[in-house]
Amino acid sequence: MVTPMNVVMLLFPRLTQLDLTGPFEVFTRFKELKVHLVWKTMDPVTDASGLKILPSATFADCPQADILFVPGGPGQMGVMEDAETLDFLRRQAAGAQWITSVCTGSLVLAAAGLMTGYRATCHWSSIDQLALFGVTPVAERVVVDRDRVSGAGVTSGIDFALTLAALLFGEERARQAQLFMEYDPAPPYSGGSPASAPAEMVATVREGLKPFLAERRAISERAAAALRR
């Protein structure tokens, strides 16, 4: 009997649930993987839109990760300066085979010092902030650099997880999971990324995000400075 690989998926308040649940849906389709949803306590964790998610383990009783995963979302900003969470990620990363993220989860890993010297991606609105941590930003849907695998914004979590599944179990099984999930995107509109959206639309969205992104950047700058100390 093969011992399952432990997938440790970090929870935190105000995460973006699809960053987490997209990969979760893929990972649970492989019997070789055992998924753990982990936070400081066993209390429900409320995502950025009000959805409550139950942890299955705490930092204290979490098993050693074979695959460490961090999602993103507005709550990522607080996590980047939370010593307890960053220490937990560092401890887990020391024994993990794969260190992974989706969306701004890569900024959390970067704040823990776990992405320095690697190529990675992030949500398009904040990808530039990776450079503050000595990370090479790559504007691609999924980026693989040695044992680091990162996905871009939100919906890319499914692409990320299928890519990692192929690395673990081969392309054929990843393709079977994709088929079973009927993952065959045909969005009602083009323009789901800055590369394909009209420039004026990108500018409008950026303008609306300006105060939020200014706050995120200030936190990233503080986290990067703390890492250098």
Annotated catalytic residue within 10, 20, 67, 103 = 103
Contact partners, residue 43, CB within 8 Å, separation at least 6: 55
Instruction: With beta carbons less than 8 A apart as the criterion, state whether 32 and 66 touch.
Output: no
Contact between 125 and 76 under an 8 Å Cβ cutoff? The reply is no
The 3 state secondary structure assigned to 114-172 is: CCCCCEECCCCCCHHHHHHHCCEECCCCEEEECCEEEECCCCHHHHHHHHHHHHHHCHH
Distances (CA, A) of 103 to 7, 41, 165, 179, 197: 18, 24, 18, 24, 19
Amino acid present at 109: L
CB 98 within 8 A of CB 147: yes
- Identify the burial level of 201 via C-beta atoms within 10 angstroms of its C-beta, where 0-12 means exposed, 13-18 middle and 19 or more buried: exposed
* Whether residue 103 lies in the annotated active site: yes
Return the structure tokens found at 123.
């949500």
Say if residues 76 and 12 touch (Cβ distance below 8 Å): yes
The residues annotated with a catalytic role in the active site are 103
